[in-house]
Amino acid sequence: MGYASLDAAFAFQNNVPPINSHLAITDCLKSDGNFLIHHFVVNQLKANKPVVLVGLAQIFNHYFLIGRKLGINLQTYKHAGKFLFIDGLTHLNEYTGQTPYPPSKAPTAPNDTLDYKNSKDTKNVLKSFYVLLKEYVSQRPGSLLILDDISVLLYNGFELGQVTSFIAKLKSLMESVQGTLLTVMHADEEGTEDVEQDNFIKTVLYGSNIVIQVQPLHSGLARDVHGQIDILHGPKSSNSDIIAQSMHYKILDNSVHFFAKGVSQM
């Protein structure tokens, strides 16, 4: 399963996030929230529910290797059609046009690619990306759709309005298939000086049901504590069972341990 101490904190039924909800994870350069993605992927698959992961920042091998550390073989689930990996990194825009495509039969090959070349509307490539993702999740009711990370879309020149509309449409799509949307985005304090980035973060958070903030310790570095996560009710929250709370975490070789603030760890 995922991280037991985090399961206890969320107390989700069957350890999977609620359907028809949007979980928004925010992190920063000093505290990468990627470890949370693996928690939700493992729990979803162990509950025999499908996962569609859009890798905007990482290739499949990244998730595969970490999954092995957590005791799960994503290749097996990928072969069975329970885990789908969509490459959103290598052919996202015209600047990646010369990037070679991986051999289709290679074990690490993605199930599909977000390829700007396949878009009929060059002014809104995200429309074609939405159509592609809709095809996959519509065939897999109850899916967990993960976008890691949506900040990449803004960094690659997509317009703010198009990106926020893309996220909003995906949320509606997941509600229509009784699924769940999980997004990851960077929310560094330095970004507050960038009006577009700041508006992007606020807009995405406004449409979320649960917000999970990953940040460094306010007191600075510590040997036994690597950072802090805050679990918050999003503006669209309707689940009173979720307890808003803050915890410290420590990243181990093959797990992550979460514990109450102020509790010392050996």
Q: What is the pLDDT of residue 93?
A: 82
The rounded distance, in Å, linking the Cα atoms of 77 and 95 is 32
Q: Which pairing describes strands 210-215 and 21-27: parallel, antiparallel, or unpaired? A: parallel
Distance between start and end Cα atoms, the chain: 23
The pLDDT of residue 102: 74
Give the start-end residues of each E strand in the chain: 21-27, 51-55, 83-87, 112-113, 144-148, 180-186, 210-215, 227-233, 245-251, 256-260
Give me the pLDDT at residue 168, please. Answer: 97
Residue 7: its pLDDT value, please?
A: 92
Q: What pLDDT, on the 0 to 100 scale, is given for residue 194? A: 81
Name the 3-class secondary structure at 232. strand
Beta bridge partners of 113: 87
Alpha-carbon span 71 to 4, nearest angstrom: 14
Q: How many CA atoms lie within 13 A of 119 on its CB side?
A: 18
Decide: pTM greater than 0.75.
Answer: yes
Q: Which residues of 148-174 are buried (b: 16+ CB within 10 A; e: fewer)?
A: bbbbbbbebebeeebbbbbbeebbebb
**How many Cβ atoms sit within 10 Å of the Cβ of residue 185?**
24
- What is the per-residue pLDDT for 219? 73
Which pLDDT score, from 0 to 100, does residue 108 have? Answer: 83
Residue 184 forms beta bridges with which residues? 25, 148
What does each of the 266 residues of the chain score in pLDDT, given as a tens digit?
678 889 999 989 999 999 999 999 999 988 899 999 999 999 999 999 999 999 999 999 999 999 998 889 999 999 999 999 999 999 888 877 677 777 777 888 899 999 998 887 778 899 999 999 999 999 999 999 999 999 999 999 899 999 999 999 999 999 999 999 999 999 876 656 788 889 999 999 999 999 999 998 877 666 788 899 999 999 988 766 788 999 999 988 888 889 888 765 55
Please give the pLDDT value at position 190.
61
Closest-CA residue to 167 (of 65, 60, 24, 43): 24
Q: What is the DSSP letter of 69?
A: H
